[in-house]
Structure 1
Amino acid sequence: MLKRHLLYPFVFACIALAACKSPQAPATGAAQPPAKVTAQIVQLKPWSDVIEALGTAQANESTVLTAKITETVRKVNFADGQAVSAGDVLVELTSSQQAAQLKDAQAMARDAERQYARQQDLVKQGTVSKALFDTATATRDSSSAKVDAIRAQLADRVITAPFSGVLGLRRVSPGTLVTPGTVITTLDDVDLIKLDFSVPETLLGALAVGQQVQAMTAAWPERRWEGRITSIDSRVDTSSRSVLVRAEIDNPERVLRPGMLLSVQVFRAPREVLVVPEIALVQVGTDSYVFRIKPDSSVEQVRVVAGARRRGELEVREGLQPGDRIVLDGTVKLRSGSRVAVQESTAANGATASH
């Protein structure tokens, strides 16, 4: 029994020695194969900073059509949502009394004109005094003024479109008694939309008339409307510390409506910056890094200062230089000093990502 216990350490030592000499054990200090990665050469690209805001759509021209006098509606010549041209007759009010008065005034005006012409001939012949001729002249002018006054009354009983646009809902019917201020309908010129939005006063220096804007709405999330800034308010709101900006957007299809909420992007003048894909960025805490490939195919971890971002890309303000080659895909298996084999390389001077 004692001999068996003495034999165990000798057997274990032989097994360990055999394992060390086994041909399957890896050789000490064997080189690791280079990691396969994709790479890109960093170059300068045009970059346009974006100011984002929310805005409200306004019609290019907008009015509420109302009655000027108290009268009943005789005829309605439009339908809800109808497109009309400037001068189109929309509503006719009862005007039979004024029409009769106009005929009487016109008849009196014609008679006064004849009396004036007759007196003018007699004055030239010296058979009528100048006083009688002056009376005839005054009568003629008075009759003409009465005709104009009745015509103005008739005009108040015909409501026309002051400009071309789209009508809203009809609020009256034939026989309705309207009074001054009674709403008949609304009229909006929406072929051109005025978009009003507020921007913080800190960005006032970045705004200028003529800058390009892009508008979007939740009603049509896949569409974009292009426009330009036409005016910047002369005052800053003291409560919100913001300035009101107005842009104009073409709306030929009349899809946008006054009062709609739109998200707005204002594009500043392009500048040249270093741009890298977001996929190349390695985030460690609050610091950002990329792996730069050195001439000997090894990599070094470089800290970068990121700036603005856009779809899949970011601006690099510090840490890289034009011409640097960085790793795009495969960063998860790298560390400083690792050797890499580039499978695919792309250039940063390709098509710039759209805004």
Structure 2
Amino acid sequence: MRRASFLIVVLVAFVAMTVIVAVRALLPGGDEMAGRGERVLPVAVAAVPSVEFADVVEALGTARANETVTVTARVTDTISRINFESGQHVAAGAILVELTDTEEAAGLAEARTTQREAQRDLDRTNDLIARAVVPQSRLDEATAALERARARVASIEAQLADRIVRAPFAGIVGLREVSLGGLVRPGDTIARLDDTSRIKLDFTVPERFLSVVSAGMQVAAETSAYPGEVFTGEIAQIDSRIDPVTRSVIIRAEIENLDGRLLPGQLMTVAVRRDVRSHPAVPGAALTRYLDQTFVYVVEETAEGMIARQRSIELGRRAGTMVEVLDGLTAGEQIISEGVHRIRDGAAVEITREMRLGANGVMAGVAAGGSSAAQ
């Protein structure tokens, strides 16, 4: 019984001491008097920056050209001239390929001669009609003959135009797949033409995100071809139906690509950003937690020196190593950025290093004497 009573007393004393320590740690200024008698602790501090945060929906997308077409011939004939090189930028309407047109050119010359003869015959008939030498029916015949000649010329000119393959829009010509003198038929691929001045990025998101995405929202895309580089654009269209199998919807974003670095077919990681906002932010290393509360230590200057004050804050989203602060801090306040496990509320501190915080965390530190120390 004595042994059991002794254990109970020890347990009660331990619990009481734990409660006292916890209460003193939570109460502002609870350790101030004790801290005055303790040694001054060296600390690194940082001014709280304002960082841009957003709610993000992530997906994988495929890059597509703004406009793309397979260049092919309309008629069957041999190639007489090739006016482009693979990878060349061509203007809209530029002649890419010419097909052999010897027979059509001869026919056009004959048709134009016939048209000139019909025009001269019409002129003579008009003169004779004016002098009442020939009847009106002769004028009608001459006019019909001229119209037939003109139609014949237009028909042959259209046949010649079919033997000239032009670029329907400005863009980059892909690999050439024909050779001079080769026979091409309708549907045979001559080359592919892509307008990559603007990239259409198609990606799918689950239907539950339909309520949070809309046209005009900003997107940020990355590709393994350019590690660490972000390409920004905005949502242009949302598909009119949901896939009944995957229960997802296709979203199309557009990204400016004037330098032509992005190519159709590239796999890209897409992040749709909504509710973009700027809030104070702190690095994760500056946070301490107790139960369901989160704290930082704010450095205050008093008559007795620099004092660390524990302050409860409300957190939001995380961006890299920085955490959004919804309430409890304002941008510009100085917080202890490192070694917070050694600090207690009301402890006397000495600033030995000032850190500069960026959107991704600590960038650099400057010693109190003024020398720079890279982190």
Structure 1 CA distance, aligned partners of 2:182 and 2:64? 31
Aligned length in residues:
321
**Percent identical:** 38
Structure 1 counterpart of 2:283: 277
Structure 2 counterpart of 1:245: 251
Structure 2 counterpart of 1:329: 338
Are 1:341 and 2:349 matched, yes or no? yes
Letter in 2 for 1:72: T
CA spacing shift, 1:63–1:46, aligned 2, 3 Å: closer
- Aligned partner (choices 317, 320, 326) of residue 308 of structure 1: 317
Structure 2 counterpart of 1:196: 202
Structure 2 CA distance, aligned partners of 1:279 and 1:259? 41
Is residue 95–residue 164 contact of structure 2 (8 Å, CA) maintained in 1?
yes
1:250 Cα shift?
2.1
Letter in 1 for 2:319: R
Structure 1 CA distance, aligned partners of 2:171 and 2:220? 24
Structure 1 CA distance, aligned partners of 2:164 and 2:286? 70
Is residue 322–residue 360 contact of structure 2 (8 Å, CA) maintained in 1?
no
Gaps of 5+ in 2: 1-33, 362-375
CA RMSD of aligned residues (A): 3.3
Structure 1 CA distance, aligned partners of 2:170 and 2:49? 52
Is residue 44–residue 337 contact of structure 2 (8 Å, CA) maintained in 1?
yes
- Aligned partner (choices 226, 232, 241) of residue 232 of structure 2: 226
* Secondary structure of 1:79 counterpart: coil
CA spacing shift, 1:344–1:200, aligned 2, 3 Å: farther
- Aligned partner (choices 235, 243, 261) of residue 241 of structure 2: 235
Give the number of the structure whose alpha-carbon radius of gyration is greater.
1
* Secondary structure of 1:115 counterpart: helix
Structure 1 counterpart of 2:294: 289
Letter in 1 for 2:349: A
Is residue 34–residue 338 contact of structure 1 (8 Å, CA) maintained in 2?
no
Letter in 1 for 2:323: L
Structure 2 CA distance, aligned partners of 1:277 and 1:248? 34
1:96 Cα shift?
0.7
Structure 1 CA distance, aligned partners of 2:258 and 2:72? 27
CA spacing shift, 1:173–1:139, aligned 2, 3 Å: same
Structure 1 counterpart of 2:158: 152
Letter in 1 for 2:284: E
1:100 Cα shift?
0.8
Structure 1 CA distance, aligned partners of 2:270 and 2:110? 61
* Secondary structure of 2:234 counterpart: strand
Structure 1 counterpart of 2:180: 174
Letter in 2 for 1:328: S
Is residue 53–residue 317 contact of structure 2 (8 Å, CA) maintained in 1?
no
Is residue 281–residue 288 contact of structure 1 (8 Å, CA) maintained in 2?
no
Structure 2 counterpart of 1:64: 70
Q: Deviations over 1:177-231 (max 9, x none)?
A: 1111011001111122222222333333433433333322111114332323333
1:300 Cα shift?
5.3
When normalised by structure 1's length, the TM-score is 0.77
* Secondary structure of 1:237 counterpart: coil
1:60 Cα shift?
1.6
Gaps of 5+ in 1: 1-28
**Once structures 1 and 2 are overlaid, which stretch shifts more, 166-175 or 258-267?**
258-267
Structure 1 counterpart of 2:93: 87
